[in-house]
Structure 1
Amino acid sequence: MKALRNVLTKLLNVLAGVSFIAMVVLTCWQVFTRYVLQDPSPWSEELVSYLFAWASLLGASLITGERGHMNIPIVVERVGAGMQKTLGILGELVAFAFSAIILVYGGVQISQLALGQMTSSLGIAVGVFYVVLPLCGVLNMIYTVLNIADICKNGTETKQEGA
């Protein structure tokens, strides 16, 4: 399981990094075309906004893998170790359900719906860019299962070491 977590984390780090580098390059291109060439590049601005959404969702999946998502530690710290483990598992189950219902199911629905719409500047179906929703939903679900296994095995640590 640790090997799967490490592979997913490395892959997400690379994808998020490539997305960030592409955003920087495209933003520099926008500035160059707008102020130097006096002919703004509308396609690059649109692509940057989609890449930003992808990078944000991929980053959210990375956080899920590290168990760094929102929590209220003051409540959990006031109960015993057994209850902490139970609350940790409950939190992961809620994240799993959210990922399954909102990101995977809802993401598939919106992606299919948006396949008929084209982006204004790129001329690509909008649904292609929405594919990140179910993709990150599946990644989150995998991570939450791995997190539950780690909680059952190791306890209630909030962040994964070496992830």
Structure 2
Amino acid sequence: MMQIRRWLDRGLLGITSTLMVLMVLGVVWQVFSRYVLNAPSTFMEELMRICLIWIAMLGAGYAFGTNQHLSFSFFQEKMTDKNRKRLQLINMVLIVGFALVVLIKGGIDLFFVTLDETTAILLLPRGVVNVALPISGLIILVYQVFHVVDLYRSSSQ
């Protein structure tokens, strides 16, 4: 299971890093084409927007996987170990519920609703952009399973 987690971590870091480099190069090209060539690139802004959506959604999955997401630890630090684990389990259940209902179900619904629409300049199906939501939800779900297993293992020791 650790092998799968490492593979997922590396894959997400690789994809998001590549998209980030693409965005930086896109911004450089956008500035160059606008101010040096006096002919702004029409497709680059839309491509960067799509990259940003994918970076945000895949990055959210990675953040949940590595427990680097925003959380309030003040109360957890004041709790006993047993209550802290209970709170972590409740938190995990809420995250799974959010991932299932909002990201996966809502993302799949959005994917099918927008599949016939295309982006203005690149003419990509909007579903290609919006499929980032259910993919992110699945990634978060997989990581939450890993976290539940880790929590179970730590409580049984």
Aligned residue number for residue 68 of structure 1: 68
Root-mean-square deviation (CA), in Å?
1.1
Pairs aligned (count): 155
Check whether the contact 1:85–1:152 (CA below 8 A) recurs between aligned residues. Answer: no
Taking every aligned residue pair, what percent have the same amino acid on both sides?
28
Which residue number in structure 2 is paired with residue 137 of structure 1?
Answer: 137
Task: Return the letter of the residue paired with 1:78.
Answer: K
2:19 is matched with which residue? 19
* Normalised TM-score (structure 1): 0.91
For 2:130 and 2:29, locate their aligned partners in 1 and report how far apart those are by CA, in whole Å. Answer: 24
Report deviation, 1:115: 0.9
Deviation at 1:71?
Answer: 2.4
Output the CA distance in 2 between the equivalents of 1:70 and 1:29.
Answer: 33
- Which sections of structure 2, spanning at least 5 residues, go unmatched? none
Amino acid at match of 2:65: G
2:40 maps to a residue whose letter is P
Structure 1 counterpart of 2:48: 48
Displaced runs of 4 or more, over 6 A:
none
Is residue 67–residue 147 contact of structure 1 (8 Å, CA) maintained in 2?
A: no
The 10-residue stretch of structure 1 (26-35 or 133-142) with the greater mean CA deviation from structure 2: 26-35
Structure 1 residues 52-131: aligned runs within 5 Å:
52-131=52-131
Q: Secondary structure at the match of 2:43?
A: helix
Give ranges in structure 1 of 5+ residues lacking alignment: 156-163
